[in-house]
A and B are shown apart, each in its own frame.
Chain A
Amino acid sequence: MKRFFDAYDAEASRYYDEVIAREGGARSHYEKLLRRFAMFSHEDVKTRREMANIFFRNQGITFTVYGLEEGIERIFPFDLIPRIIPSAEWSLIERGLTQRITALNLFLYDIYHTQKILRDKVIPAELVLGSPHFRREFVGVTPPLGIYVHVVGSDIIRDREGRYLVLEDNLRTPSGVSYMLQNRQAMKRAFPVLFSQYKVRPVEDYPQELLRTLQEASSSVPGDPNVVVLTPGIYNSAYFEHSFLARQMGVELTEGRDLVVNDNIVYKRTTRGLERVDVIYRRIDDAFLDPLCFRPDSKLGVAGLINAYRKGNVTLANAIGTGIADDKVIYSFVPKMIRYYLGEDPVLENVPTWLPGNPWEMKYILEHLGELVVKSANESGGYGMLVGPESTLEEQERFRELIVSNPRNYIAQPTISLSRHPSVLNDSELYGCHIDLRPYVLTGKKTTIVPGGLTRVALKRGSLVVNSSQGGGSKDTWVVDE
């Protein structure tokens, strides 16, 4: 009978394979997994895969695909083979992200207060002050504990040598954490024996940690602060996650229309009248939060919310204006921020980044469009991107014009061949798919990272784009103690 891993070709000379070392043979932390999978036939794996799929469907873990009359609900593709991170590597990631988020919070505080880093010319002032996400009107407004970003999802990749690099930071409303938790449930059901052979660190306490972080961020008087999750509603593609987190934390899931502001205090409308709200974990962008302050056509927001926030009567997590640090141009300065604010060398490096704003870098970018990845500074979800080696000449031409006409809005990076991980394609074939890692960082009085995160996998041959909107899926991520 054909065994499951028999036909796997790691192509380890060309890529960094997470499982198979370059010199051949499995990396030590994958040995038990390979031994276990060697006992499975393709049929066995298929059966377990169906078990997992039924679990996802029954739980209603779906995301909505747009553009069609009735939004279609799909299951977020799940790959059965877990990604394993040894604890030594994890502690590097943990230290690196803690350092990074600490610096980013200091940066945001600085930008919305004295702007010392701009006056010291570490970052060109026009890049920050000219960003569409810079909220001038919030200069001088201090959120509780001085924390701007309570929840961050940073995307980490590994290059050809296996070095961990930070690809981007999501500081607005990072999504996907519910999949981290659900993938773990599905794996435990599908592979109980394999799971018990590893000392996998638990991720299940994420909702408690999130709630603690949100409660700590409350500015209000003693007593249990009233926390709510604010969602755009059931037609939003991440609605499942919003309701999942609210349920797990045991707090109310609210829409904009459930909240009212009276005398700069935020209340929720209940069947017993109004109840005060202290902390809002909002999954709505800045621009839609308050029609009186930002987009007047927003139907998702709460009129008057911003004034209540300004008065310090309600905490928003994340705070307003964090999008400037999310900007990919500003991203390229994070290592400098770390040195500037903390006086330390960055534990995790950035991916090298060229900014077309500098004439010589612009020249380099335009000469090497075929090799580089060009990204728009403020898009997410894999949109507005040129992957040089996979692009046509027309596409390159289009981006050339875009970059020249608006250099501030683009960055370029070398095409990094993301590390690969054996994954099941089309139900049968084992193939080395490219992956990244999104750990979730929580910052209250201290910074906490639940060991693991969402490993996203590009479930298409050779594709480097892992976003769910572009055919990506996910894997369970095991941080293991040896």
Chain B
Amino acid sequence: MLSRVAESLFWMSRYVERAENTARFLDVNFNLLLDLNRITTVESPECWIALILVTSDRERFESAYGDYGAEPVTDYLVFNRQNPNSIISCIGMARENARSVIESISSEMWEQINNLYHYLQSATPQSVQNDPFSFYREIKNASHLFQGITDSTFPRSEGWDFMQVAKYLERADNTARLVDVKYHMLETTRQEHEEVVSRSVDIIEWMAVLKSCSALEAFRKRYLARIEPRSIMEFLILDRSFPRSINFSVCAAKEALWRLSGGSGGRSLNSADRLIGKMEAELSFTTMDDISDTGLHHYLERLERGIREVGEEAHLTYFASHTPEIEPFPDKDRNLPATRRKAEWREAQQQQQQAYCP
């Protein structure tokens, strides 16, 4: 498989997953605010700042909007084309990547991405404000549909594995960020509002975190109704069977990476294989006590760094090999590569056209 094709499949998959996660965060935040309207309002900035923190976009957001609130944050995360992580940018880039490998994916996959793209083009901030739930459900369902179509129409070949690596790395990263930021936020609010915040508010907030990972039912089955921060952390970080937990995602990414290199047969591992194997092993043998000893924030930060390094190594091993000058890995600040290249490539590829037209 051409390195460029593999890379496009990788990013197509990753962008779709990222758009879905952003939709989840926003959706749950709305829900949460409605549940909490006794102590805060939908417009209060502190309820929205977390969403920007999850995506590490604080500076860019503040220079463009200034104030935090439902409207600016939604606009920034859904519609802002300058924000490479907004849903509209992500789906635009997913489609762009799909288009560049249209001969390698099934036409059903292309149609699904194309449909989602056109759905977003027709959406307006007004329509999202009026009915946020339907809007976010649409995005989530479209992403699930895309994954389902891929599952049932795409051959289990190299390309499939690249898409799986991308999806699960992105998911692990998002869950880590979500847990990290939410934990921090909730601890702070709890201290500030000690006198008014009842135990029930605490529970509602933690339920929201679970909901944003579609994990509430699964969690209840495992832990019954004991909704406590510690068990929630344990579930989202260490559970081996829930498909949005970090451990599960890292494990799935490892499987796919090892299939790609044939590494499971005891042959030599490349650096990406080694790194992901190490992460998986560590997650498998870690307990919540270990995490408390390290410090949650510190632990999650290390995970996020690990995920980024795996991405970098996979990039060097499969996409950037034999390139005359190796491009620096472009995901340092979650700024995705094709965004930067897009204008440049459009210009380059139209060179020939311009030569034709006087």
Interface residues of A (CB under 8 A from B): 58-60, 66, 71, 232-237, 243-244, 246-247, 252-255, 257-258, 260, 267-274, 284-285, 287-288, 297-300, 303, 379-381, 383-384
Contacts and interface: CB of A to CB of B under 8 A. Distances in A.
B318 interface: yes
A234 B3 contact: no
Contacts of A71: 346
19 contacts: A58-B111, A60-B110, A66-B357, A233-B349, A236-B352, A246-B103, A247-B103, A269-B4, A271-B6, A271-B158, A288-B352, A298-B351, A299-B345, A299-B349, A300-B352, A379-B356, A381-B356, A383-B356, A383-B358
Interface in B316-358: 318-319, 321-324, 345-346, 348-353, 355-358
Nearest to B317: A271
B348 A300 contact: yes
A75 B6 CA distance: 29
A149 B292 CA distance: 72
Nearest to B324: A260
A269 B346 CA distance: 22
Interface string B146-171: 00000000000010001000000000
A384 B358 contact: yes
A299 B260 CA distance: 31
Contact of A234 (B6, B96, B323, B351): B96
B345 A235 contact: yes
A253 B4 CA distance: 10
A406 B6 CA distance: 50
Contacts of A257: 4, 323
B17 to A, nearest CB: 21
A21 B103 CA distance: 45
Given A60-B114, A384-B358, A233 B100 contact: yes
Given A270-B2, A271-B158, A285-B355, A299 B107 contact: no
B351 A288 contact: yes
B350 A66 contact: yes
B349 A258 contact: no
B107 A59 contact: yes
Q: How large is the interface on B (under 10, 10 to 19, 20 to 34, 35 or more residues)?
A: 35 or more
Nearest to B314: A271
Interface residues of A, dominant DSSP? loop
Interface of B: 1-6, 96, 99-100, 102-103, 107, 110-111, 114, 158, 162, 260, 318-319, 321-324, 345-346, 348-353, 355-358
A285 B349 CA distance: 12
B321 A273 contact: yes
A462 to B, nearest CB: 24
Contact of A255 (B4, B102, B352): B4
Contacts of A237: 353
A380 B158 CA distance: 42
Contacts of A384: 358
A376 to B, nearest CB: 8
Contacts of A253: 103
B103 A269 contact: no
Contact of B1 (A260, A271, A299): A271
Contacts of B114: 60
A86 to B, nearest CB: 36
A237 B355 CA distance: 13
Q: Give the interface centre of B110, B111, B321, B324 by most chain A CB atoms within 10 Å.
A: B321
Q: Give the interface centre of A58, A270, A273, A379 by most chain B CB atoms within 10 Å.
A: A270
Given A234-B100, A383-B358, A268 B352 contact: no
Nearest to A243: B103
Contacts of A59: 107
Contacts of B319: 271
A287 B346 CA distance: 18
A94 B297 CA distance: 75
Given A60-B102, A233-B348, A235-B346, 13 more contacts: A66-B357, A233-B345, A234-B99, A236-B349, A258-B3, A270-B2, A271-B1, A284-B352, A285-B355, A288-B351, A288-B352, A300-B351, A381-B357
A269 B349 contact: no
Contact of B322 (A255, A269, A300, A379): A269
Contacts of B6: 271
B185 to A, nearest CB: 38
Nearest to B159: A271
A297 B318 CA distance: 28
Contacts of B162: 271
A59 B102 CA distance: 11
Contacts of B107: 58-59
B210 to A, nearest CB: 38
Q: Which 8 A-B pairs have the closest CB atoms?
A: A299-B348, A247-B103, A235-B349, A233-B349, A235-B346, A271-B318, A243-B103, A232-B349
